Homo-oligomer: A and B are copies of this chain.
Amino acid sequence: MALRAAVAGASGYAGGEILRLLSGHPETEIGALTGNTSAGQRLEASQPQLLPLADRVVEETTAAALAGHDVVFLALPHGHSAAVAEQLGDETLVIDCGADFRLADAADWERFYGSPHAGTWPYGLPELPGAREKLRGARRIAVPGCYPTAVSLALFPAYAAGIAEPEAVIVAASGTSGAGRSLKPHLLGSEVMGAMSPYGVGGGHRHTPEMIQNLSAVAGERVTVSFTPTLAPMSRGILATCSARATPGLTAARLREVYAEALAGEPFVRLLPEGRWPTTAAVAGSNAALLQVALDESAGRLIVISAIDNLTKGTAGGAVQSMNVALGLPEELGLSTIGVAP
């Protein structure tokens, strides 16, 4: 019998991608679609690409609307998930695509988000060491941020193997869908096309403590992260360029070996063959993360580059993958590593 899944925030970009994936998932059926300003509209108004759901009507996001589902995906603005989740029973799998339950450290939360900490849920990045165990059987899941997904996948093997100094430097470019559908002047098409634009520079981006948390846990020591996000003139995709000083004696062969071993068997993370580099174009609409590594002997640094689709592996695909793990379904069910290119 199919699992009934509801999506709160169905008219946003993350919500739309969740619905796209659920539409192709053999074990789910789509239940309530809820929204805020879009309540009362047909889904076609906000998600014209989801033809089979065109006539579905968006309801107001309330506990009543979301009740009675096996799985509830929350794609809400930060700070709204706790109140909704509280009203959903423990038998419901609640998967939060927002930030509210990602951070373990309340002080970090309060410093970066300026509101009281709601708590910490099992973290929906199955590839991290120990993560799958915590996800199995979980009924609450915090889906990682899109940047932390790209960065943690890129660097966890190095920190797990102790081949990188604990000072990571990361510059990432994201498509504009990562900023959501909010009406802000700098997100207008006329501003975005032709523009590479940094933001949150100098440690201010809210995804920074999440990266520090993930990498430090793997490294077993505090890893500092210098993170600079930039907005790129494209709709989807993140390319993260991550580097750190290599520990003494590291060779290119050993670097490659570390990554090959750490990623062996992972269905969605692929270390590319030598000579090939990840691009965002190769993962559009795909749940794959592509990685490549290099050792810059002259600068004494290892460089790892990862590419993901911020809406798929970076949000909705990661959410569905974690759902599969939590519910004991095959991890790859309803997900694909085939992108839409060119």
Contact = CB atoms under 8 A, between A and B. Distances in A.
A103 to B, nearest CB: 15
Interface in A160-208: 167, 169, 171, 173, 175-177, 179, 181, 183-185, 187-199, 201-203, 208
Q: How large is the interface on A (under 10, 10 to 19, 20 to 34, 35 or more residues)?
A: 35 or more
B181 A188 contact: yes
- Chain A interface, >50% SS class: mixed
A233 B175 CA distance: 10
A1 interface: no
Given A49-B282, A196-B279, 5 more contacts: A171-B171, A193-B233, A193-B235, A197-B279, A198-B241
Interface of A: 13, 16, 20, 23-24, 42, 44-45, 47-52, 54, 167, 169, 171, 173, 175-177, 179, 181, 183-185, 187-199, 201-203, 208, 224-226, 228, 230, 232-237, 239, 241, 243, 245, 270, 272-273, 276-286, 288, 290, 292, 294-301, 303, 305, 307, 336-342
**Cβ-closest 3 pairs across A and B:** A202-B294, A189-B192, A49-B339
12 contacts: A24-B336, A47-B341, A175-B194, A193-B342, A194-B284, A195-B281, A196-B279, A201-B292, A201-B294, A201-B303, A232-B232, A233-B234
